[in-house]
Structure 1
């Protein structure tokens, strides 16, 4: 019995292109002064946890003649050393060199003939540190049924010793059996039959552009978009190359601003981003008036303070206009707080108990859910994607090495030059900015302005 990709998974698989690799990335930096982590230990750890994420040993097989959605099959030639790779920076490697390496790795699509994930152990980082960069295709990790690999390899304490488990891959189905299974599936689901015939007549394989247009059409019909977003340099034809940069901030600063000015921590984050984007637009000479806005999609915002219970938080998806034309940082925050409060009253939310049952390091899996949620909106409905996910406020460990920082690396959607991912962890709020190398060559300006915008808000509160 084969497992067929869900319609959403199949869409993400079809959206993949050399210019738009649709994988979810995570960059973790660990303290390895004690030498707890090395390549062999990482191999053993991941191999012992693969039974918890069985899809990481499966690849995608197309059904001949496009008679049905692709299926998941065990990779009988699975080689963990192909997926877990070593890389090194020239000692002592700087954070800037690490960000450049991550940008190059994030630019490369995954190999569709193998399980759709890769992991890189980066050695040579200054200060006795090591980095781990993972990339997982959005078709593989949906955040609920199939978790992102970081979810199961990070521990709140000392990791238990790896357990040897024998994995016996199932026999890979033949093309003929896939056709037979597809015909049975089509007979039981006539609506799928019409869709398969239409796809086969139009084209043997769906192009990324076709799928994007289809998604845009469905989003408009469902009413998920509220008109077109403002014209912005954030929306441009992207190249196949990326830039990556990070920002480290203190969670306590957001609490101070929230206590002084109201709203949620998420509102404060959006206000900080708004101030940075305002100054970035001005640095480019873009015309700005007091009414100028940029529209962001915050696919799964978790209204959560680090001291609150995740089970009482709310997860929702919405579009919000960032008031980048407003010069006063306090008024920017007030506008955002009112907008998000209004959205939370009228838009259906998804409560978080489902997420609570996901033991382990949740943010990576939640970011996967966020990117999938963003894709349901028409591409012209927003200027950029901002994913903001809570993480644990106690140290996490990778094979005994303490994790110092974690940064999301969210993919660029079609004609999106920038995505901003955030994760709170152990008293910090970390930003990961993934940008197109040509359209956003000045992404480092945005990171510098994020620090400046944070200082502006703190000054207003003091």
Structure 2
């Protein structure tokens, strides 16, 4: 058995505190051809069970939460608890599938069993079927959740299928309670002498991040109470075009994606009659700490930084460069690594105290953060199941802590897909976010090509394009 990390236990505490929240992460695979038989599909899932022994483990909590929860083998493991079959009503179009995904995002995973589930969706139009893979945020982060879906797919030559079973990085080995207490007391006595200076520096770096999360920002309809129901929308863009923009302006693919998100929120706020003023939208940008050799491990290796989206800037290129500068500034301060050090310090504290901190944070009506946008690098190669091609991958992440919309950005082959989750009652215009993202990429691409043309000898610059998100939108 191994104990859950402070971050993992924090996700459990957040879900315990707010009955409106389900912290399951999801990935939807759209697959060509007829759906498999139940027997065939079980063989696909068996591949994942062989590769990830975490899938057979459940969370066991100590009485009164005096110690951290532990992962233990489920003595009654039954694959039937983790596979469900459903079918879309006619006409089985994308709108119906998105409604189903929104419903699945509200359903909590059963804590009496391992915290994952697969839903097979039949009757998808155009000779297709879908698979929705869900895993609790306690078990996986966005990258390892996609890896879980990959493990159900056909083996790729040279891939890790068939490698020894992986359970994720054990946070701490569970030991008998008296020994654990003695170890903790001994560690606390030595802490003033063993606390590294870097940890003290980490606290100093994280302090501005905590302030950004807790300090109230200008009132925005993007932040506020959320209900139980969800909406789900999609935006798709061509990854080669995004790379061309990134190369043209010497920024990253992530910068381009976040700039498109900023443009979409700018348009959304104008549509709601809210001027997009500076500092109105603070966004959480998760940062992966996952190394290449840890790609196939089911656990959480993520930190975060909080930045302002430059929604006040009219010109698309100015917004893109501002996004790049702000993200670079946060990275250079080492906020993500500092947060990791703070969580390491939390492992010295009693679990009950750490859990109570997360619960208090969940009760606190934060008004500083208005959005979350996370970029997930997906498979570069085409996936298949039973010889049938996986056509698309859609990312799905939950909402919580009064943040009414979240956006997951997943690359797969030559496509970048933005999966947008929203609170049902307060985001009836969620499709405007998707439209704003999709329309921003062509505008940035035109500017990138104009910029490249200006550096060519004997070239004539094209007429400048207008802002894609003026106040008249």
Same fold (TM over 0.5): yes
Deviation readout 1:66-86 (Å, 9 max, x if unpaired): 331222222222221221111
Work out the number of aligned pairs and report it.
384
- Partner-residue secondary structure (3-state), 1:93: coil
TM-score by length of 2: 0.73
- Counterparts of 2:269 and 2:247 in 1: how far apart (Å)? 29
CA contact (8 A) 2:205 2:335 kept: no
Is residue 387 from structure 1 mapped to residue 388 from structure 2 by the alignment? no
2:322 matches 1:323:
no
Q: 1:338 to 1:282 in 2, by over 3 A?
A: same
Structure 1 counterpart of 2:251: 263
Distance between the aligned counterparts of 2:247 and 2:63, measured in 1? 59
Q: Match for 2:327 among 318, 334, 340? A: 340
SS of aligned partner of 1:130: strand
- Could you tell which deviates more after superposition, 137-146 or 430-439? 137-146
After the TM superposition, which residues 44-443 of structure 1 pair with which residues of structure 2 at under 5 Å, given as runs? 44-141=43-140, 149-155=148-154, 157=156, 181-190=176-185, 222-227=207-212, 228=215, 229-289=217-277, 291=278, 293-300=280-287, 317-347=304-334, 380-443=367-430
How far residue 230 of structure 1 moved from its aligned partner, in angstroms, is 4.0
Within 2, Cα distance between the matches of 1:191 and 1:222? Answer: 28
Q: Is the 8 A contact 2:372 2:405 kept in 1?
A: yes
Q: Does the 8 Å CA contact 2:46/2:152 hold for their aligned counterparts?
A: no
Q: Do the aligned partners of residues 62 and 192 (structure 1) sit closer, same or farther apart at CA in structure 2, a change above 3 Å counting?
A: farther
Cα separation, partners in 2 of 1:397 and 1:415, compared to 1, 3 Å: same
- The match for 2:439 is 452
Which ranges of structure 2 fall in alignment gaps of 5 or more residues?
A: 165-173, 190-202, 290-294, 296-301, 338-361, 451-473
Q: State the shift of 1:333 in Å.
A: 1.1
Does structure 2 conserve the Cα–Cα contact (< 8 Å) formed by 1:156 and 1:395?
no
Question: Contact 1:158/1:399 (CA < 8 Å) preserved in 2?
Answer: no
Report which stretch shifted further, 339-348 or 401-410: 339-348
Q: Give the superposition deviation at 1:442.
A: 1.5
User: Does 2:30 match 1:29?
Assistant: yes
Cα–Cα, structure 1 residues 103 and 159, in superposed 2: closer, same or farther, change >3 Å?
farther
Q: CA deviation at 1:36?
A: 7.2
Q: 3-state SS of the aligned residue for 2:67?
A: coil
2:28–2:395 contact (8 Å) kept in structure 1: yes
CA distance, structure 2, for counterparts of residue 251 and residue 147 of structure 1: 18
CA contact (8 A) 1:230 1:295 kept: no
CA distance in 1, matches of 2:405, 2:143: 26
Q: Which residues of structure 1 form unaligned runs of 5+?
A: 166-177, 195-217, 303-309, 351-374
Task: Give the match's secondary structure for 2:176.
Answer: helix
CA distance in 1, matches of 2:232, 2:439: 19
CA contact (8 A) 2:287 2:336 kept: no
TM-score by length of 1: 0.74
> Using a 3 Å threshold, how does the CA distance of structure 1 residues 126 and 193 change in structure 2: closer, same or farther?
farther
Relative to structure 1, is the Cα distance of residues 380 and 220 closer, same or farther in structure 2, using a 3 angstrom cutoff? farther
Alignment deviations for residues 12-70 of structure 1 (CA, whole Å, 9 cap, x no partner): 122214311111111111112xx473432221221243132112112222212333122
1:293–1:264 Cα change, 3 Å:
farther
Post-superposition offset of 1:226? 4.7
Cα gap change, 1:44/1:219 in structure 2, threshold over 3 Å: closer, same or farther? Answer: farther
C-alpha distance in 2 between matches for 1:19 and 1:193: 37
Q: Name whichever of 247-256 and 447-456 sits farther off.
A: 447-456
Q: What secondary structure is seen at the aligned counterpart in 2 of 1:449?
A: helix
Q: CA deviation at 1:293?
A: 4.4
Query: What CA distance in whole angstroms lies between the structure 2 residues aligned with 1:424 and 1:19?
Result: 29
Distance 1:90 1:183, change over 3 A: same
CA distance in 2, matches of 1:292, 1:416: 16
